[in-house]
Amino acid sequence: MTATPTKETIIGALRHVPGPDGQSDIVTLGLVSEIIVKDDGKVYFSLAVNPEIASGLEPMRKAAEDAAAKVEGVSSASVTLTAEQTGMNSSAASQNNGSGASAAAAPGAQEPSGLRGIAKVKTIIAVASGKGGVGKSTTAANLALAFAANGLRAGLLDADIYGPSMPRLLGLSGQQPEQADENTLLPMYAYNLPVMSMGFLVDEDTPMIWRGPMVQSALVQMMRDVAWGELDIMVVDMPPGTGDAQLTMAQQVPLAGAVIVSTPQDLALIDARKGLNMFKRVNVPLLGIIENMSYFLCPHCGGRTDIFSHGGGKVEADKLNVPFLGDIPLDIQIRETSDSGHPVVATEPLSPHTKAYRDIANAIWKSLSGGAQPSSPKIVMD
Ligand code: ADP
């Protein structure tokens, strides 16, 4: 019978892996994060490194992975490099506590010159919300498809490590991406849209135990170690709220801007404002607000009911001095298509909802490109 590996035995093995200085080992140097050992013998941890020399540290990462994989009982080891380094990189460390105040104080966190883009991806935007359940992921998926329908090469990254929903929304649940080569994954495709999500890579319950540094490195790998191909725009579906992951995104990639999804009642409340303020603090331009579930369209009579007084979104956006990008109704077709993995923009190209998403995508693209129109529209259907 195979012994269950313990963290101690793994740490013992890692003591033989030299650190970046080639002298002290990675454990002594304090680079090893918390080690997660799953029941099936899979081991996950990250190594905190100075981002400036990270590109040269692949051999160290691989050596750590090999050392852990050789420990008796370990079925596989997955090691990532993370930019966080307690004590050495105060900016990353302070951001990792998720507090807005520390983000504001983080030195150099938003130096545009220090940010590295994703190869061949021209523009990256975030879709965010102050809290969950407002339809952020539904909006992100339909927006990415709307950019594609408008003739752009679009991709979708599900950055919600703790609650990835893109596999379900795009009808890809249970499928796994293939490897392009040793270090690169191919994205999954839904309706011709390249998409990557933690939901493709781990069991649904696994991400819950991940800690800050691992979340960061998982995000970075999903951005950089995936063969996205040439993209005009990547839509990033953020986790709800204003914590680590949003800050990491802002810190790791040059976000061209952020879109906030909100319901009418939240707009008037604090949640949407928190989202706005977080992006302001990290100097990510706010592209605007989308009001979701804005009014009710009756599937029987087609009548429209303004459950929350109409126009509130626009008024609030004006008050907050943020562009209002448009509203999407609360509609059974949107709910059914999104929950069944057939997003409305991909499957109902002539629906008024598809038009609404495409108009919003157009407005976003215009503001990103200073008024330029994307190339001739095409309708994407599978
Ligand atoms: P979030 O990402 O903010 O948690 P989701 O996109 O998962 O929210 O949406 C939450 C629920 O609301 C889902 O069941 C989704 O189908 C539904 N939903 C989202 N937007 C709409 C809409 N405009 N009309 C009807 N249902 C919607």
Q: Which atom of ligand 1 is nearest to the CA of 140?
A: 6
Confidence at residue 272, expressed as pLDDT on a 0 to 100 scale: 66
- Distance CA(217)–CA(212), nearest Å, equals 9
pTM above 0.75?
no
- At 139, is the secondary structure helix, strand, or coil? helix
- Distance CA(360)–CA(127), nearest Å, equals 13
List the Cα angle 305/237/366 in 5-degree steps: 75
Q: Which atom of ligand 1 is nearest to the CA of 237?
A: 2
pLDDT tens-digit series, residues 229-238: 999 999 999 9
The residue assigned the tokens 């995508």 is: 361
Confidence at residue 179, expressed as pLDDT on a 0 to 100 scale: 85
- Tokens representing 344 are 């409305």
- Distance CA(81)–CA(68), nearest Å, equals 15
The residue assigned the tokens 């009982």 is: 73
Pocket residues for ligand 1 (CB within 6 Å)?
129, 132-138, 165, 240, 292-293, 328, 330-331, 334-335, 338-339
141-150, 213-222, 325-334, 360-369: the lowest-pLDDT one: 213-222
pLDDT tens-digit series, residues 95-120: 333 322 222 222 222 333 345 678 78
The residue assigned the tokens 């020399």 is: 53
Q: Cα(first)–Cα(last) distance of the chain, in Å?
A: 49
pLDDT tens-digit series, residues 301-346: 877 887 766 666 777 788 878 899 999 988 889 999 999 999 999 9
Confidence at residue 268, expressed as pLDDT on a 0 to 100 scale: 56
User: Which residue among 134, 138, 355 is best mutated to probe the pocket of ligand 1, counting the most ligand atoms within 8 A of its Cβ?
Assistant: 138
Q: How is residue 210 annotated by DSSP? A: -
- Tokens representing 144 are 């990415």
CA 24 to mean position of chain CA atoms: 35
- Distance CA(125)–CA(50), nearest Å, equals 26
- Enumerate residues 6+ apart whose C-beta is below 8 A from 150: 358, 361, 362, 365, 374, 377
User: Which residue among 173, 335, 339 is best mutated to probe the pocket of ligand 1, counting the most ligand atoms within 8 A of its Cβ?
Assistant: 335
Q: Which atom of ligand 1 is nearest to the CA of 131?
A: 3
Confidence at residue 221, expressed as pLDDT on a 0 to 100 scale: 85
